[in-house]
């Protein structure tokens, strides 16, 4: 939905024009998976899909929330009494942002909010971060809080971790808040330092496809927790704060020290090699050799499938079919156990690849995937 439509819908709903309209995008992670809770490197870029919110301030403490994507009308809360709850609903995300802002001492005295999003939910494309960041940016602007983007992202992460109760790293919110059009964001999740890396695919005759498998395997939450715990155990056994502290050059020695801890050894190998893959992709893009990142993406998939073990048959099929049909590289993206894969391809091969992926899913009797192009797009911004 466009900015004007969101503005008009707000006016109809609340009987007055909004003070402004903002947007924040979903994201795809190009490389650097399961590294963010190991203090490592990630490299997301923003999608053209985004959450758009029309917002006005209130002075009476009332928080009114409405999403055109959810049944059930306006939800009214009191911003003075917000507290993390156990039963999470969609309103927990925007309410959590207001809570996090107020907790940090910012005088947010209520708001009327109407939003609409084109980010598919639960596809590993971060519809939740888009929702949080658009609200944080809007309130930050209206209440003139002067918060830098990285800090907005931190507050949104806190909203999701503490208020919503979902353990996520800092990547999604930072991507939505800080990405720039035609770039991928090289982010060090330890100190939050970041660098915009030129990633203009179209100019090089390339495309990046997203294959949303439309599946979410039920055990994903518990498995995420197990991987996190395994990584923490690896760091403890190796005597470092986080696996990020194992240099790639020391990997073999570190693995040898882990003795018969087979599972931990696999997790450590993934995280350390994945950080190195992010650095290789950055170097290749900065030297202008975009095609050469393909094999690095594919290596990343093998590592997630065989060492970290977070892939699933649908993701493997999307990757294998793409490579067999001539893609330059492909890998699962996001946490795994469903969600989406990305495929780097020559522009000329897009139709052939899309057809091959769709046919392979039909043959395997999997749910039909949604295949679309991901153009590196702008981060969060004010539209009106």
Active site residue ranges: 172
Residue 128 interacts with ligand ADP (CB under 6 A)? Answer: yes
**Residue 377 per-residue DSSP state:** B
Euclidean distance between CA atoms 279 and 113, whole angstroms = 40
Size of the site for ligand ADP (CB under 6 A): 15
87 vs 144 by CB, closer to ligand ADP: 87
Q: Which of 62, 84, 106, 122 binds ligand ADP (CB under 6 A)?
A: 122
Segment interacting with ligand ADP (CB under 6 A) among 99-107, 120-128, 179-187, 279-287 = 120-128
Q: In the bound complex, what is the minimum distance in angstroms from residue 216's beta carbon to ligand ADP? A: 9
Residue 128 interacts with Mg ion (CB under 5 A)? Answer: yes
Residue 84 interacts with ligand ADP (CB under 6 A)? Answer: no
Q: Using CB atoms within 10 A of its CB, is residue 143 exposed (0-12), middle (13-18) or buried (19+)?
A: middle
Task: With beta carbons less than 8 A apart as the criterion, state whether 174 and 188 touch.
Answer: no
β-strand partners of 367? none
Q: Using CB atoms within 10 A of its CB, is residue 260 exposed (0-12), middle (13-18) or buried (19+)?
A: exposed
Segment interacting with ligand ADP (CB under 6 A) among 10-18, 42-50, 114-122, 266-274 = 114-122
Residue 29 interacts with ligand ADP (CB under 6 A)? Answer: no
Task: With beta carbons less than 8 A apart as the criterion, state whether 206 and 162 touch.
Answer: no
131 vs 137 by CB, closer to ligand ADP: 131
Euclidean distance between CA atoms 367 and 313, whole angstroms = 12
Q: Using CB atoms within 10 A of its CB, is residue 163 exposed (0-12), middle (13-18) or buried (19+)?
A: buried
Residue 126 interacts with ligand ADP (CB under 6 A)? Answer: yes
Q: Which of Mg ion, ligand ADP, none has residue 329 at its interface (CB below 5 to 8 Å by kind)?
A: none
Binding site for ligand ADP (CB under 6 A): 67, 69-70, 90, 93, 117, 121-128, 131
Positions in the binding site for Mg ion (CB under 5 A): 128
């Amino acid at each position: 939905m466009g900015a004007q439509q969101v503005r008009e819908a707000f006016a109809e709903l609340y009987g007055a024009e909004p003070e402004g309209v903002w947007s924040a995008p979903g994201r795809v992670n190009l490389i650097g998976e399961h590294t963010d809770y190991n203090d490592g490197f990630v490299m997301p870029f923003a999608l053209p899909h985004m959450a758009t919110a029309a917002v006005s301030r209130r002075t009476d403490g009332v928080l009114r929330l409405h999403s055109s994507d959810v049944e059930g009308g306006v939800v009214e809360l009191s911003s003075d009494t917000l507290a993390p709850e156990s039963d999470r609903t969609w309103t927990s995300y925007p309410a959590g942002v207001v809570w996090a802002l107020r907790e940090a001492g910012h005088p947010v005295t209520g708001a009327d909010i109407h939003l609409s999003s084109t980010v598919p939910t639960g596809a590993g494309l971060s519809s939740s971060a888009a929702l949080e960041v658009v609200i944080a940016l809007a309130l930050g602007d209206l209440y003139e809080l002067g918060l830098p983007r990285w800090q907005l992202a931190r507050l949104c992460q806190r909203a999701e971790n503490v208020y919503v109760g979902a353990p996520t790293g800092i990547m999604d919110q930072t991507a939505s808040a800080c990405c720039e059009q035609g770039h991928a964001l090289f982010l060090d999740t330890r100190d939050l330092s970041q660098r915009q890396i030129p990633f203009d695919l179209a100019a090089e005759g390339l495309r990046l496809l997203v294959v949303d498998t439309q599946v979410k395997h039920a055990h994903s939450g518990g498995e995420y927790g197990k991987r996190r715990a395994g990584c923490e155990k690896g760091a403890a056994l190796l005597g470092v704060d986080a696996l990020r502290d194992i240099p790639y050059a020391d990997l073999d020695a570190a693995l040898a020290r882990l003795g018969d801890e087979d599972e931990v050894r696999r997790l450590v190998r993934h995280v350390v090699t994945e950080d190195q893959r992010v650095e290789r992709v950055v170097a290749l893009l900065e030297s202008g050799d975009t095609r050469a990142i393909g094999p690095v993406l594919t290596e990343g998939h093998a590592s997630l499938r065989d060492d970290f073990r977070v892939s699933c048959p649908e993701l493997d099929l999307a990757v294998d079919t793409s490579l067999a049909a001539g893609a330059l590289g492909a890998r699962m993206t996001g946490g795994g156990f469903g969600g989406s894969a990305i495929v780097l391809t020559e522009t000329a091969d897009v139709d052939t690849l899309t057809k091959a992926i769709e046919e392979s899913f039909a043959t395997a009797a999997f749910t039909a995937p949604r295949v679309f192009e991901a153009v590196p797009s702008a981060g969060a911004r004010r539209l009106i």
